[in-house]
Amino acid sequence: MKLNYSKFISEIIVRPSDIDVNNHVHYSKYLDYLLAARYEQMHRDYKMSMEEFIDRGMSWFASNVNIDFKRALKLGDTALVETQIESYNGAQVKVNFWIKKKANDKIAAEGYAFYTLVSIKTGRPLRIPDDILEKYSV
């Protein structure tokens, strides 16, 4: 049982098409930023990309997301998306995340997501295999 998993960081450049009528990054885009960060981190930091999961007949789905919106991101901003595994349980992993404005390191949004590993063939949850737990225990 690991006490503390590593925190990984990805940079996302805000696009004009992310901006809504209030001149802020649209609230659903934060989930896109989180997903983009996790993809990059799976490949770069955990050394097992989503493609490799799919090659093994498995895929991750978000089963729950809880997100607090704190401060707006705007056009011209770069976001930092930090994620950190909190715990594993069967087919699920709980990941905490913080989306910050790079220029001042202030939190724009934060929360957690539960991801469930599923079999692509059956669509049923799959207990996370030991070799993957190992890779993810950095």
**Site residues for a second copy per CB under 8 A:** 12-13, 15-17, 19-23, 26-32, 35-36, 39, 43, 50-51, 59, 61-69, 75-76
> Least CB distance from residue 36 to a second copy, whole Å?
4
> Least CB distance from residue 1 to a second copy, whole Å?
27
Q: How many helices (H) and strands (E) does the chain have?
A: 3, 5
> Least CB distance from residue 83 to a second copy, whole Å?
14
> Least CB distance from residue 123 to a second copy, whole Å?
9
For a second copy, the closer of residues 2 and 47 by Cβ is: 47
For a second copy, the closer of residues 12 and 85 by Cβ is: 12
User: What is the rounded distance in angstroms from the CA atom of residue 104 to the CA atom of residue 20?
Assistant: 22
Q: Residue 33: enclosing H or E segment and its boundaries?
A: helix 29-44
Handedness of CA 110, 80, 45, 6 (dihedral sign): negative
- DSSP for 112-126, please give it: EEEEEEEETTT--B-
For a second copy, the closer of residues 5 and 30 by Cβ is: 30
What values do phi and psi take at 37, rounded to 5? -65, -45
For a second copy, the closer of residues 27 and 137 by Cβ is: 27
